[in-house]
Amino acid sequence: MNIVLIGFMGSGKSTIAKNLAQKLGMKVADMDNLTVEASGRKNIKQIFEKDGETAFRELEIKIAKKIAKKDNQIIATGGGAIMNKIILDYLKMSGKVIYLKTSIESIFTRIRVNGDRPLFQNFHEIKRLFKLREPLYKAYSDIIVVTDKKNLDQVVEEVLTKYGR
């Protein structure tokens, strides 16, 4: 069984994945990192610039398919993975899906518009994406953990409790 973390950019998926993996003696599969590795590019920004978002999404599907075949992993998805039903189908088959629910206000205090995230650039676009995706995160998850006003340890503890560990 895997644990699949979903949520908007800045919800803490990668950090929480590392922490959970350590506590549970599981491996981390960070989809953003694996996608960059598979692309041969330096980072996500470069994939978007040189190859475009569609190429990035295609790679994301390949990575999801590959990691869904493995076990004992905490999977940190990219924030847009839920826009692609194929990805969610692969991941859902492989484990429990946990939504790290974070308000747009918290997200704006946690991450900066600095170019690292190609889709976190324009205030109105970010809000539009958030509204569009929020119901999908909810619909696809087995467990919801609200991260607002909680530190890393508190979120991890709540994930473990709700997951039954």
Contact footprint for ligand S3P (CB under 6 A): 9, 13-14, 32, 44, 78-80, 117-119
Token match 């598979």: residue? 38
Token match 């899906």: residue? 97
C-beta of 126: minimal distance to ligand S3P in Å?
9
C-beta of 164: minimal distance to ligand S3P in Å?
26
Token match 């991260």: residue? 147
In terms of CB distance, is 138 or 165 closer to ligand S3P? Answer: 138
Describe the strand order of the beta sheet including 95-101 as a list of residue ranges.
Answer: 27-30, 73-76, 2-6, 95-101, 143-146
In terms of CB distance, is 85 or 165 closer to ligand S3P? Answer: 85
In terms of CB distance, is 59 or 164 closer to ligand S3P? Answer: 59
C-beta of 53: minimal distance to ligand S3P in Å?
8
In terms of CB distance, is 4 or 32 closer to ligand S3P? Answer: 32
CB 117 within 8 A of CB 11: no
Non-local (6+) Cβ contacts of 89 within 8 A are: none
